[in-house]
Amino acid sequence: MTMKLASLSDIEKARFNLIEQQIRPWDVSDERVLAALPLVARERFVPSQFRGLAFSDLEVPLVIHGVDTKQAMLSPKVEARLAQALALTAEDCVLEIGTGSGYQAGVLSKLSRQVTSVEIDARLVAFAQENIANAKIDNVTIETGDGSEGWGTTEYDAILMTGSLPTMPDAFKYQLRVGGRLVAAIGQSPAMTVVRVTRITAASFETETLFETVIKPLVGPHVSHFKF
Give the predicted TM-score (pTM) of the model: 0.92
Is the Cβ–Cβ distance between 123 and 67 less than 8 Å? Answer: yes
As a whole number, mean pLDDT of residues 116-127 equals 98
Helix (H, G, I), strand (E, B) or coil at 101: coil
| Residues paired with residue 9 on neighbouring β-strands, in sequence order | none
- Tell me how far apart the alpha carbons of residues 60 and 150 are, in angstroms, rounded to a whole number: 27
As a whole number, mean pLDDT of residues 130-152 equals 95
Share of the chain above pLDDT 70, in %: 94
Domains of the chain: 8-225 (3.40.50.150)
Confidence of residue 168 (pLDDT cuts 50, 70, 90): confident
Q: If we measure between CA atoms, which residue out of 162, 149, 205 comes closest to residue 180?
A: 205
Dihedral pair phi/psi, residue 96, rounded to 5°? -115, 130
CA-based torsion, 74, 79, 85, 91: positive or negative: positive
Predicted confidence (pLDDT) at residue 125 exceeds the cutoff of 80: yes
| Average pLDDT of the residues of the chain | 93
Helix (H, G, I), strand (E, B) or coil at 69: strand
Predicted confidence (pLDDT) at residue 212 exceeds the cutoff of 70: yes
Confidence of residue 8 (pLDDT cuts 50, 70, 90): confident
